[in-house]
Amino acid sequence: MKALVFGAGGLVGQEAVRAFVADGWLVAGPPHGAADIADAGSVRAAFDAAGGIPDAVVNCAAASNVDACERDEAAAWRANALGPRILAAECVRRGVPSFVHVSTDYVFDRADETPEEPIGAADGAEFVAPANAYGRTKLAGELAVVAEFRRAAPGVRHSLVRTSRLFGAGRDTIADVVVRMRAADPGAALRFHSGEAEAATSARWLARAIVALASGATSGERGGVEHVVCATAPDERSKTAYVRTVLKIAAELGVIPPEAAGNVAEVGDDGTAMRGERAFRPRGSVLLPTAAFSNPPDWKDEMRDCLAGKFRVGVASSRTHCSDGGGAMA
Ligand SMILES: NC(=O)c1ccc[n+]([C@@H]2O[C@H](COP(=O)([O-])OP(=O)(O)OC[C@H]3O[C@@H](n4cnc5c(N)ncnc54)[C@H](OP(=O)(O)O)[C@@H]3O)[C@@H](O)[C@H]2O)c1
């Protein structure tokens, strides 16, 4: 089986390539410099170089920096909306059996009275309401994929995989940044906006889901929307609670001294206030896992392995990788 992974140099892309290889697939993962998903000629060349019709195509490429998307929505649109449309069209044209497109919880802004209530995949029409340029362009990407696949032959599937607050081995995320800060200076000031409730997710768990979807093991006959997140208790979902728990795990691992795990301040009332060039964040965008991924690992176990791998300390587990992303520090 052959997979063609776009965005293979990113956090999710690297993990997806590893997961496909571990599952016995042949993988082509052209880096951004070799394949621009927003350039139809470049995409065609990448397909041709990978043998024409792979068994699965995965889109992990994106403009993923939320604040950078806010500053340059046109650039974000190119990567997050135009690119997915071009990839989907090429998959449909060639009859690629399975296309997996990675998307985000930021297509939602749970700006109602229950921001911490998990959102099911079927709630899309009711709740979809992106709060910033990143979310708008990612939603446009989802809609473009669906539109292109309306023309697909029977047996040609597409999966839209929404996930949130990623962490993993491929690059540093907010989790690694705060641990490095406190390792260097146990008293370093940390302040986060309140709210921003999300489920934390390891790129490793997401990658396993991507391989399962590419293999056709899940999803409907023609594909559909999947929510893939790790188990995250209600009191662990706010940005501040997430950072506090990450630091606690780092202290337990001996990566930072015990006294470096405290003093994470919370500012603001709902985490959505625009401050300078910082994009609005959803108050809550907790995804309810879809049926095929309803038994996920606990994010804290995944984080423990992730930090142990990155900071090279022993951990009593066979797990290996991890990284987060998304939110910026206040
Ligand atoms: N990180 C999170 O917390 C999070 C949360 C929810 C959903 N997601 C979604 O997960 C997916 C992967 O995110 P990630 O965190 O892995 O992002 P990432 O680490 O920033 O990786 C994205 C990759 O895409 C590449 N890329 C950007 N524009 C491209 C283009 N036009 N053509 C080809 N490649 C391009 C980037 O290359 P350059 O570095 O050269 O630009 C980078 O290698 C995205 O769909 C994102 O929306 C992420």
How confident is the model over 227-252, as pLDDT tens digits? 999 999 999 999 999 999 999 999 99
Token pair in block for residue 237: 């979902």
CATH top-level class for 2-166+201-227? alpha beta
Atom of ligand 1 nearest to the CA of 42: 32
How confident is the model over 145-196, as pLDDT tens digits? 999 999 898 889 999 999 999 999 999 999 999 999 999 999 999 988 878 8
What's the CA gap between 96 and 54, in Å, rounded? 6
How confident is the model over 89-114, as pLDDT tens digits? 999 999 999 999 999 999 998 777 67
Spatial CA neighbour of 56 closest among 86, 85, 17, 82: 17
Query: What local confidence, expressed as pLDDT, does residue 134 receive?
Result: 97
What's the CA gap between 263 and 188, in Å, rounded? 9
Query: What local confidence, expressed as pLDDT, does residue 314 receive?
Result: 64
Q: Whose CA is nearest to atom 27 of ligand 1?
A: 62
Spatial CA neighbour of 250 closest among 186, 169, 207: 186
Give residue 186 CA to ligand 1 midpoint distance, Å: 31
Query: What local confidence, expressed as pLDDT, does residue 318 receive?
Result: 38
119: helix, strand or coil:
strand
| Most ligand 1 atoms within 8 A of CB, residue of 17, 44, 60, 206 to mutate | 60
Give residue 61 CA to ligand 1 midpoint distance, Å: 4
- What confidence category does residue 323 fall into, taking pLDDT thresholds of 50, 70 and 90? very low
Give residue 87 CA to ligand 1 midpoint distance, Å: 15
| Catalytic-role residue among 134, 205, 280, 293 | 134
Atom of ligand 1 nearest to the CA of 101: 45
How confident is the model over 32-83, as pLDDT tens digits? 999 999 999 999 999 999 999 999 999 999 999 999 999 999 999 999 999 9
Query: b/e string for 250-283 if b means 16 or more Cβ within 10 A?
Result: bbebebbeeebbeebebeeeebbeeeeebbbbbb
For residues 254-270, average pLDDT: 87
Atom of ligand 1 nearest to the CA of 65: 20
Angle at alpha carbon of residue 174, lines to 3 and 289, rounded to 5°? 55
Q: Whose CA is nearest to atom 37 of ligand 1?
A: 32
- Any long-range contacts for 310-319 (C-beta under 8 Å, 24+ apart)? 310/169, 310/176, 311/179, 311/183, 311/250, 311/253, 311/255, 313/253, 313/254, 313/255, 315/253, 319/204
CB 164 within 8 A of CB 326: yes
The answer, yes or no, to whether residue 269 has pLDDT greater than 70, is no
Please identify which residue in the block is written with the tokens 């008293």.
Answer: 187
Q: Is 242 a catalytic residue?
A: no
- What confidence category does residue 329 fall into, taking pLDDT thresholds of 50, 70 and 90? very low
Give residue 303 CA to ligand 1 midpoint distance, Å: 20
Show the ligand 1 pocket: residues with CB < 6 angstroms: 6-7, 9-13, 32, 35-38, 60-64, 79, 83, 102-104, 138, 163-166, 171, 324-326
Ramachandran region, residue 133 (left: φ > 0; alpha: ψ -120 to 50; beta: rest): alpha
Atom of ligand 1 nearest to the CA of 104: 7
CB 25 within 8 A of CB 3: yes
Query: First-to-last CA distance in the chain?
Result: 45
The pTM of this model reads 0.93
The answer, yes or no, to whether residue 202 has pLDDT greater than 70, is yes
Give residue 77 CA to ligand 1 midpoint distance, Å: 13
Query: What local confidence, expressed as pLDDT, does residue 276 receive?
Result: 46
